[in-house]
Structure 1
Amino acid sequence: MKASLIRRACAAALALATTMAPAAAAQPDDTAEPSGIGAHARLLGEKIVPHKLPFRNTTVGGLSGIDRNPCTGEYVMVSDDRSYLQPARFYTARIKVDGAGVHSVDFTGTHPFRQRDGSVYPPPSAGDGKAVDPEELRVDPRSCRYWWAQEGDRPKSSSDPVIQPSIQFSTRTGAYRGRLALPVNYEVTRGDRGPRRNKAVEAITFGARNSVLTSAVEGPLLQDGPEPDLNRGALIRVTQQSRKGHVLGQFAYPLEKIFAKPDPSSPWPPDTGVPAILAYPGDPGRYLVLERTWVAGAGFKIRIYDATTRGATKVQNMDSLTGQTVVPMRKELVADFHDLGLSTVDNTEGMTWGPTLPGGERTLLLVSDDNFAEDEVTQIVALGIR
């Protein structure tokens, strides 16, 4: 979801509420057994990439996903440019990070994603149904090929085509190699079912010894109730699938309520969701979950949670979560970016594990999506996780 695009539109405009199903029914039982979560984070450092950095006839920016390639030691970052500037693409980079900080970010390559026929993706145009919205990329730990997610499009008007979200496979040069069958309730419809516009699949991760692909929709499905407001949060769906696409489990994750009252003169509502999820090595049901929120007049709130499916209700057979009594995933706050002492808190969307530090502390790298805007930044943040 392009939260910073909304923020810029809001700034331009300044220059010239229903409730969801009872939240109490969706809260975990305090008598349930402990979840076994509770990581701690500290800031190691950050690095700002030059704005609109030119690289091999492309413009670096819109970086909405990041992963580390175990075969090369490099990092792969996906751009969410929908082929407006250059064809939809990804970048590889060497990032030097250790316990003393982020020392350098050096881009080493870029390739466009290719369609089944070998062509690159064209810019969106009404009626062709070929638009693509890349948001996440993961390196397959078994083959070091890429799995990447794109949100598709719920059209604004009946004359525009529905473009389904997808998780595709590609080579390390972007060649198409297939796609994963998604859960039925991830399908965009023209009715009141499925993901909201710009709130579809934006988060994927490998887990359970690399045999399970977990995905999360960014916001609540239309049938699952309204989006978060100042008084209450919402439930989004997190799905575990086999590599063949079989749904192993789907769970409700509790998204936080909006953290601040928006500027009343703004025409734009708050925007919140989950742009990234990251599995814990060795624990098939434990994840780091990134929540990103923007509020007019208050800016961004970036938080990382330690969450688990242990004890949570499986909801894959529930058409709607509205009015249902479900036990959602448990979660605990790991880091609020406003507490880390960063130079800025921006539109952070990507997250991956980095190298392990001496003493056993694991590095966590995050990247922000600048949407190619002059008032945004491409920021690489490194945290130590214990």
Structure 2
Amino acid sequence: MKPSLIRRACVAALVLASTMAPAVAAQSDHTAVRSDIGARARLLGEKIVPHKLAFRDTTVGGLSGIDRDPCTGEYVLISDDRSVLQPARFYTARITVDGAGVHSVDFTGTHPFLQPDGSVYPPASVGDGKAVDPEELRVDPRTCRYWWAQEGDRPKSSSEPVIQPSIQFATPSGAYRGQLPLPPNYEITLGDRGIRRNKAVEAITFGADGRVLTSALEGPLFQDGPEPDLEHGALVRVTQQSRKGEVLGQFAYPLDKIFTESDPSSPWPPDTGVPSILAFPGDPGRYLVLERTWVAGAGFKIRVYDATTRGATEVRNVDSLAGRRVVPMRKKLVADFHDLGLSTVDNTEGMTWGPTLPSGERTLLLVSDDNFAEDEVTQIVALAVR
């Protein structure tokens, strides 16, 4: 989702220490922590990409996902431009990062995503139901093809088309090669059930050497309970699938409650969710989870958690999590961006593993989505994770 497409109020950074408590129901907050999770992170550096950088007849911006291509060593970044400025697309870039920081970000290529008939995706204004909302991209570790997620659109009125979310496969030049069948409860349905508007599939990751594709919804299903507020968090569904789409497991991830009150003069409610998830190498049930929250008058809160499905309740056959006593995924805070000393904390939506440092730490690169807005930035942040 794009919380700051909204004209937001003057941003003031607020720091709020998070707490940890057992989570056993649909509106519970953090889970208890055991010693099998607990990665630590430190800041290596950051780099700001020039706003609306012109590159090969496109406008660089809206970067909502990033992944490292093992076949080239370059990074692939997806833009969430819904074919408004230019056709829905992705970029490749060389990003030089080491223990001393982020030294350069050099874009090397761009391609539009293509429909099965070879044409580019139209903007939503065309109204034919074929528009897409690109949010995440992962490079297949087995084939180096691109798997990308788009969250579709739950219409505001019955006169507009429903666009279902999807996870598609593409070649490195953007040609369509198929899509992954999604779980039935990932479908947008009208009424008081299914996926909320702009709260669909924003997060995917490969694990188990490419055998497992894990996805996370950005927010709770309608039937799973309300969205987070100042008192309660919420449960969002995380699903593990085989490469052919078989559901291997589905679990509930405990999303934080809203960190502070909104500016009462703002018409815009808080926005929070999971925009990215990243599997730990060699541990198919363990993930880094990115939580991104925007509150009018306070700005963004960005947190990264270490989370695991071990011991969590399997919920694929649980129709509604509301009021159910389920054991959610356990999580532990890895980094709060307000504690890192960054030049700004913005709309961070994507993350990927980078190279391993001589210290044995793994680099973690994150990118922010500037929404093509003048008051936001495209920021590359590098952390060292142990």
Same fold (TM > 0.5): yes
1:49 aligns with 2:49: yes
Q: Aligned partners of 1:28 and 1:343: how far apart in 2?
A: 29
C-alpha displacement of 1:9: 5.5
Alignment match, 1:14: none
Q: How does 1:101-116 map to 2 (within 5 A)?
A: 101-116=101-116
Q: Aligned partners of 1:39 and 1:92: how far apart in 2?
A: 29
Deviations 1:98-117 (A, max 9, x none): 00000000000000000000
Unaligned runs of 5+ in 1: 12-22
Q: How does 1:65-80 map to 2 (within 5 A)?
A: 65-80=65-80
Cα distance 1:126–1:107, how it changes in 2: closer, same or farther (>3 A)? closer
1:353 aligns with 2:353: yes
C-alpha displacement of 1:127: 3.5
Counterpart AA for 2:317: N
Counterpart AA for 1:86: Q
Deviations 1:104-138 (A, max 9, x none): 00000000000000000111126310111000000
Q: Aligned partners of 1:144 and 1:82: how far apart in 2?
A: 24
Q: Aligned partners of 2:147 and 2:109: how far apart in 1?
A: 18
| Higher mean displacement: 92-101 or 184-193 | 184-193
Alignment match, 2:304: 304
Alignment match, 2:283: 283
CA contact (8 A) 2:63 2:80 kept: yes
Q: How does 1:116-131 map to 2 (within 5 A)?
A: 116-125=116-125, 127-131=127-131
Deviations 1:141-171 (A, max 9, x none): 0000000000000000000000000000000
Q: Aligned partners of 1:122 and 1:10: how far apart in 2?
A: 32
Secondary structure in structure 2 of the residue aligned to 1:103: strand
Alignment match, 2:140: 140
Secondary structure in structure 1 of the residue aligned to 2:25: helix
CA contact (8 A) 2:287 2:306 kept: yes
Alignment match, 1:17: none
Alignment match, 2:176: 176
Q: Aligned partners of 2:176 and 2:30: how far apart in 1?
A: 45
Could you say what the CA RMSD is over the residues aligned between the two structures, in angstroms?
1.6
Q: Aligned partners of 1:133 and 1:33: how far apart in 2?
A: 35
Q: Aligned partners of 1:151 and 1:250: how far apart in 2?
A: 18
CA contact (8 A) 1:145 1:170 kept: yes
CA contact (8 A) 2:134 2:151 kept: yes
Alignment match, 1:263: 263
Using the aligned pairs only, state the percent identity.
Answer: 84
Q: Aligned partners of 1:40 and 1:308: how far apart in 2?
A: 15
Deviations 1:325-375 (A, max 9, x none): 100000000000000000000000000000000021000000000000111
Q: Aligned partners of 1:57 and 1:244: how far apart in 2?
A: 36
1:344 aligns with 2:333: no
Q: Aligned partners of 1:28 and 1:283: how far apart in 2?
A: 24
- Equivalenced residue count is 374
C-alpha displacement of 1:34: 3.3
Cα distance 1:327–1:24, how it changes in 2: closer, same or farther (>3 A)? closer
CA contact (8 A) 2:24 2:326 kept: no
Q: How does 1:178-327 map to 2 (within 5 A)?
A: 178-327=178-327
Q: Aligned partners of 2:164 and 2:132: how far apart in 1?
A: 9
CA contact (8 A) 1:115 1:121 kept: yes
Secondary structure in structure 2 of the residue aligned to 1:168: strand
Secondary structure in structure 1 of the residue aligned to 2:120: coil
Alignment match, 2:3: 3
Q: Aligned partners of 1:340 and 1:362: how far apart in 2?
A: 17
- TM-score w.r.t. the length of structure 2 is 0.94
CA contact (8 A) 2:96 2:102 kept: yes
Kindly report structure 1 stretches of 4+ aligned residues shifted beyond 6 Å. none
Q: Aligned partners of 1:45 and 1:221: how far apart in 2?
A: 36
Q: Aligned partners of 1:28 and 1:270: how far apart in 2?
A: 17
Deviations 1:244-288 (A, max 9, x none): 100000000000000000001111100000000000000010000
Counterpart AA for 2:254: P
Alignment match, 2:383: 383
C-alpha displacement of 1:190: 1.2
Cα distance 1:29–1:205, how it changes in 2: closer, same or farther (>3 A)? closer
Counterpart AA for 1:167: I
Q: How does 1:57-96 map to 2 (within 5 A)?
A: 57-96=57-96
Counterpart AA for 1:369: D
